[in-house]
Copies of this chain bind each other. A is one copy, B any other.
Amino acid sequence: MISCLLVEDQTLVRLGLANLLNLSDEIVVDGQAQNGVEALQQLEHRDFDVVLLDMRMPELDGLGVLTALQKRACLAPKVLIITTFEDCDVLVEAMALGAKGYVLKSIELEELIDAIKLVVAGGKVLQPALTDYLLQKQIAPQVILTAKELQVLKCLSLGMANKSIAHALNNSEGTIRNHVSNILAKLEVKDRTQAVLKAISNGLV
């Protein structure tokens, strides 16, 4: 039997999925968590063969869990991300942080069970729908913003003007203008509005 920790914030989805998996005779969900914090607590106490991890959660999200797990690399469990298409912008980050697979909640039950077995066996899983998505993304390679730029971008996406941002971040307006200019270049957009739109749709903020 494959022992499995299920991390998902929506109670109905979590209970339902746990039930379904437990009906199979190969997988047993013997741990559940509503958010990243709970998940890490459970993982301290005992080991699981695999962690089914949702991305969007309160308290600590999927990426947070992955980051935390990386720090104790030796005994990191296999992680299979199971989430919605809306959250798949972070696919690359998640895999970079050590996730072994990434499937959508729209997956069929049998496929999911196969994916879990594959991951436990040491494989990697990516749904066809996602590989297409990846291809599209890789044409426009990963944008890397510096910490400061990300800070400014967050201000932008709050609708702040350069002057306000300068005041908020204790910089001159000119400096903020430079940062904004660099952000626009990196995001390949022409003005702050487009930057905000791109940031939102890419989950950068």
A13 contacts across to B, CB distance below 8 A: 12-13, 16-17, 105
- Indicate if A10 sits at the interface (CB-CB under 8 A): yes
The answer on a CB contact under 8 Å between B191 and A159 is: yes
Distance to closest chain B CB from A133 (angstroms): 17
Indicate with 1 or 0, residue by residue over A46-72, a CB within 8 angstroms of chain B CB atoms: 000000000000000000000000000
Q: From the candidates B9, B16, B156, B158, name the one contacting A16 in the complex (CB within 8 A).
A: B16
A159 contacts across to B, CB distance below 8 A: 189-191, 193-194, 197
Q: From the candidates B19, B106, B158, B197, name the one contacting A20 in the complex (CB within 8 A).
A: B19
A118 contacts across to B, CB distance below 8 A: none
Contacting chain B: which of A92-100, A107-115, A144-152, A171-179? A107-115
Indicate with 1 or 0, residue by residue over A72-93, a CB within 8 angstroms of chain B CB atoms: 0000000000001000000000
User: Cα distance A106–B12 when bound, in Å?
Assistant: 7
The answer on a CB contact under 8 Å between B20 and A16 is: yes
Q: Number of copies of this chain in the oligomer? A: 2
Q: From the candidates B12, B156, B200, name the one contacting A105 in the complex (CB within 8 A).
A: B12
| Interface size range on A against B | 20 to 34
User: Cα distance A197–B189 when bound, in Å?
Assistant: 17
The answer on a CB contact under 8 Å between B156 and A193 is: yes
User: Cα distance A13–B14 when bound, in Å?
Assistant: 9
Distance to closest chain B CB from A200 (angstroms): 7
A197 contacts across to B, CB distance below 8 A: 157-159, 196
A190 contacts across to B, CB distance below 8 A: 159, 161
The answer on a CB contact under 8 Å between A12 and B161 is: no
A156 contacts across to B, CB distance below 8 A: 193
Whether A15 touches B10, Cβ cut-off 8 Å, given contacts A196-B196, A197-B157, is no
User: Cα distance A194–B157 when bound, in Å?
Assistant: 8
Distance to closest chain B CB from A195 (angstroms): 9
